[in-house]
Structure 1
Amino acid sequence: MAKNPKPTKALVPVATAVQYRPLAGTDTMPVEVYRVPDRHPSGEGPWKAEPDKLTWIDPDTGLPCIMRRGNDGALCGYVGVGPDHPLAGVGREALPQDPPIVVHGGIDYASACEEYEPQHISVCHVRVTRAVNPPFDSSTMVALAKLPDDLWWFGFSCDKPYDLVPRDRHHIRPLGLENGRVYRDERYVVRETTNLAAQLHAVAEGLPMPELKGERPAVGLASFEPGARR
């Protein structure tokens, strides 16, 4: 059974500072919203009003999802599957390639819950915060109650050669600007995480891979390879 992650006094729920709102580009309300000063990029940029961690239940698949900011300021996306999923416990190098699971830069994370990490930075269970009237609907509450104790998480990172990484932005050579580096924002990461959830659901149900929303990045001098590994 999964252990409760360590509480922390360092986390700052965004809900106390800004309006609790749907995930960018969707009608889905998050379950948790965190602002993490140690990870939030400094200075002006598209990240200024973004949270540093969001959790939600994907309404189409019922799978738990996380958007989390890394130490370098780049956003990452994760989807959890239960122990009955065909890919539960499978490492990223052993994932199927015919067809591959297509997500930004390829899956570079496959791991069990980080159950001993503080909740504001962990990749672990999506948990209801202490809100008297949660801003999400009853179907989300039901989905949360049904989550198994043991989850296996798959994820991707927006820190590839064609991505603008906030904490590296002052060290990019002039050629980097020509290389078309783009900051992958909340809207982009939520969309890619949703695409990942849809594909993992298809694998579980034995269905054809779904048509993906949006486009993968135009990469300038670097070519995009769906199955690429870091």
Structure 2
Amino acid sequence: MARKPKTTKAIIPVAAAVQHRPLAGTNIMPVEVYRVPGRHPAGDGPWSAEPDKVSWIDPATAIPCIMRRGTDGALRGYVGVGPDHPLAGFGEEALPHDPPIVVHGGVDYASPCEEYEPHETSVCQVRVPRAAEGRSSTPLRPPFDACTMVALAMLPDELWWFGFSCNKAYDLVPGKRHPDPLGLENGRVYRDERYVVRETTNLAAQLHAIAEGLEMPELKGERPPVGLSEYDQVPRR
């Protein structure tokens, strides 16, 4: 099995964190669900009942996916590919433009597993969660199906992650709820769990097509044009 990152006492067990339910708008059961108080936005909003990190195996491609919240309160989506993928090891600026990979704001993250970061906030191996420290070390009973268990067992030891961030000039960022004039002109929208899961699934489908030499798939939903605002380098955390 893959090498696992360290755990910390800050990890909240799934059963005590957020209701383990199908991902928003889908019938996919996540592998991990974490609520991280230090990352969760203050105040009421569409984020109130959302988790702060969710991982799952995309059923259409068997590719691992992660949604996590950054320190600014905005959600981000990530897709992991194995070392045999044609784009493994590529930086975000080296990705192909013909055809382009289309995702919210463009791909702005390309990195190996953050194996030394706390698991509840890291982009790393998707794993079956365990009970809280001090309790039984037996894995919690997985709420997902056998196909997901098989996909987890077949994941390579090393993954290369590509991701996107929902903290662009046209996004409402919970930690920065004082939009500047440009933001007001563009109209800021909070990109919620449903939106980020959909975009992450779209990214997984495109990376799968590249690996298999297939035509790029038709994407679900709509997203703002990447050129709507000037590109700003986004902090990875």
* TM-score of the aligned structures, taking structure 1 as reference length: 0.92
Q: How large is the Cα RMSD of the aligned pairs?
A: 1.9
Percent identical: 77
Counterparts in 2 of 1:196 and 1:70: CA distance versus 1, 3 Å: same
Letter in 1 for 2:7: P
1:143 alignment partner, SS class: helix
Task: Report the alpha carbon displacement of residue 121 of structure 1 after superposing the two structures with TM.
Answer: 0.6
CA distance in 1 between counterparts of 2:63 and 2:38 reads: 28
CA distance in 2 between counterparts of 1:173 and 1:216 reads: 21
Moved more, 12-21 or 49-58: 12-21
Matching residue of 2:135: none
Counterparts in 2 of 1:114 and 1:132: CA distance versus 1, 3 Å: closer
Letter in 2 for 1:106: G
Instruction: Name which of 192, 203, 216 aligns with 1:185.
Output: 192
Q: In the alignment, is the contact (CA less than 8 A) between 1:3 and 1:116 conserved in 2? A: no
2:33 alignment partner, SS class: strand
Instruction: Name which of 209, 223, 227 aligns with 2:228.
Output: 223
Structure 1 stretches lacking a partner, 5+ long: none
Structure 1 residue 33 corresponds to structure 2 residue 37: no
Task: Report the alpha carbon displacement of residue 218 of structure 1 after superposing the two structures with TM.
Answer: 7.1
Q: Deviations over 1:84-119 (max 9, x none)?
A: 100011111110000100000000000100011111
Matching residue of 2:51: 51
Matching residue of 1:137: 145
CA distance in 2 between counterparts of 1:183 and 1:14 reads: 25
Structure 1 residue 154 corresponds to structure 2 residue 162: yes
CA distance in 2 between counterparts of 1:105 and 1:97 reads: 14
CA distance in 2 between counterparts of 1:165 and 1:121 reads: 18
Counterparts in 2 of 1:50 and 1:14: CA distance versus 1, 3 Å: farther
Q: Deviations over 1:59-100 (max 9, x none)?
A: 000000000100000000000000110001111111000010
Task: Report the alpha carbon displacement of residue 178 of structure 1 after superposing the two structures with TM.
Answer: 3.7
Q: In the alignment, is the contact (CA less than 8 A) between 1:107 and 1:229 conserved in 2? A: no
The count of corresponding residues between Structure 1 and Structure 2 is 225
CA distance in 2 between counterparts of 1:17 and 1:198 reads: 29
Moved more, 63-72 or 6-15: 6-15
Task: Report the alpha carbon displacement of residue 175 of structure 1 after superposing the two structures with TM.
Answer: 5.5
CA distance in 1 between counterparts of 2:49 and 2:35 reads: 10
Q: In the alignment, is the contact (CA less than 8 A) between 1:108 and 1:229 conserved in 2? A: no
1:12 alignment partner, SS class: coil
CA distance in 2 between counterparts of 1:93 and 1:229 reads: 13
Structure 2 stretches lacking a partner, 5+ long: 131-138
CA distance in 1 between counterparts of 2:14 and 2:129 reads: 12
Q: In the alignment, is the contact (CA less than 8 A) between 2:169 and 2:229 conserved in 1? A: no
Moved more, 127-136 or 57-66: 127-136
